[in-house]
Amino acid sequence: AAPPPLASGAPSPRRPPATIRPADASSLSAAALISSAAEDGCDLPFPPERAPHHRELAAAAASVERACRLCVDVKRSLLSGGRKILEKNDQSPVTIADFGVQALISFELQQLFPSIPLVAEEDSTFLKSSNPDDNSGNVLIESISSAVADKVKNSGSPLTHDDVLRAIDRGGKDAVSFDSNPATYWVLDPIDGTKGFLKGDDALYVVGLALVVNGKVAVGVMGCPNWTNGTTANKKEENLDPCPGNGILMVSHVCCGTWSRHLSPEIGQFTTAQDVWKRCFVDACSVVHMARFCIPDSQTWNMIPLSVLFDSTTDESDTRDENKILLRYACCGSLCKYIMVASGRASVFFSRARVNTQIKAWDHAVGMICVQEAGGQISDWSGEPLDLAADLTGRRILYPSGGVLVTNGALHDKLVELISANYK
């Protein structure tokens, strides 16, 4: 088999914002598709003159919103039965929606920006390895193709099963190899929090897409179909919700801030007025024991170094003192915790690195820019920035010392100091 293409990481000269163009928008068809993406309701809350990657963000936001519609439809169909829930080799669940979202977003990005590679969670190996005797593989691929065809923006011929499989594999681990130079590429988590996706209607899951430009996250979009103004909040906090209503679309562009609006009810009913976007900011808490903390659902408070100093409670009515902190739960996945911090619903997100468990880039890349542009800060437990290029050729794995620390900024240095003093 031929080796995967080498994604050159050589930085390109920075052009003035007024003349920035996507690398592949020279063709009329690509330009028309990008214009169409903007017409589909992805007008952004800041002008192109301020945002060198405005077109990429507009296209990404439109694609993520369509992907959220796919998730909602597939989740509804899960109630009707059928083999739509699968299990990967690591025993983690994966659904038709995971594959469908990756195929949809991969296909649309390739049409618009064919020179920008994609790093994503899934590939089609699992689908192709299904038992050929019972025709299950063909049934799964047919279901995925049907879900994608119903939502994808495609001005060409109808997608074949092979088109869908190729779109999935464009983000797979063998699709591209990077070199040691800063690289430009998309990072996609088709569904962060698949376990949450499989739970009740109020369980959170996120479609997350980021654009890394010359080694730095420049653009981010997160869609959370089940976010509501009551998500993890009590009534006193409802006025803090950046996006009242069902579902949230959060976008971020370097030096332009983080913004959110609620998801459109249906495809074709996009809202375009700039006043529907609301600027997101982290909270202003600067006292550790008064902060609101999040941790992964697979971890417990006693795994966090601060547990030697503070007890925890999940009851917001509990009286807190200098020895107790509030622990908030936001269901499965990491990206919903980033939304919590970026929107001011939580002050801190801790995640501990664990032996034999890899920390994946797609679980953090888009969250990083959304929190940073909202005024927060992200590092490993030693205070060092997360290195997206630590996985030199794949750009798929992160190696943070100790774990990942996401904060509102005001607490960051103090928490790094406390971790350093209590982490062994």
Residues of the binding site for Mg(2+): 121, 189, 191-192, 363
DSSP per residue over 63-124, as a string? HHHHHHHHHHHHHHHHTT-SS-EEE-TTS-EEEHHHHHHHHHHHHHHHHH-TTS-EEES--T
Compute the distance between CA of residue 149 and CA of residue 160 in angstroms, rounded to an integer: 9
How many CA atoms lie less than 13 Å away from 285 in the CB half-sphere?
A: 21
How many CA atoms lie less than 13 Å away from 419 in the CB half-sphere?
A: 22
Residue of 83, 61, 64 lying closest to 144 (CA atoms): 83
SS3 string of 280-331?
A: CCCCCCCCHHHCEEECCCCCCHHHCHHHHCCEEECCCCCCCCCCEEEEECCC
Q: What is the DSSP letter of 352?
A: E
- Computed on alpha carbons and rounded to an integer, the radius of gyration of the chain in Å comes to 21
Extract the tokens encoding 403.
């774990």
Phi and psi torsions of 165, nearest 5° = -65, -40
- Which secondary structure element, helix H or strand E, spans residue 158, and what is its range? none
DSSP per residue over 192-233, as a string? ETHHHHTS-TT---EEEEEEEETTEEEEEEEEETT--TTTT-
Compute the distance between CA of residue 367 and CA of residue 294 in angstroms, rounded to an integer: 14
Binding site, residues?
Answer: 121, 189, 191-192, 363
Q: Which residues participate in catalysis according to the annotation?
A: 98, 194
Decide: helix, strand or coil at residue 253.
strand
Residues 6+ apart with CB under 8 A from 35: none
- Which secondary structure element, helix H or strand E, spans residue 422, and what is its range? helix 412-422
Q: How many residues does the chain have?
A: 424
User: How many Cβ atoms are within 10 Å of 28's Cβ, its own excluded?
Assistant: 8
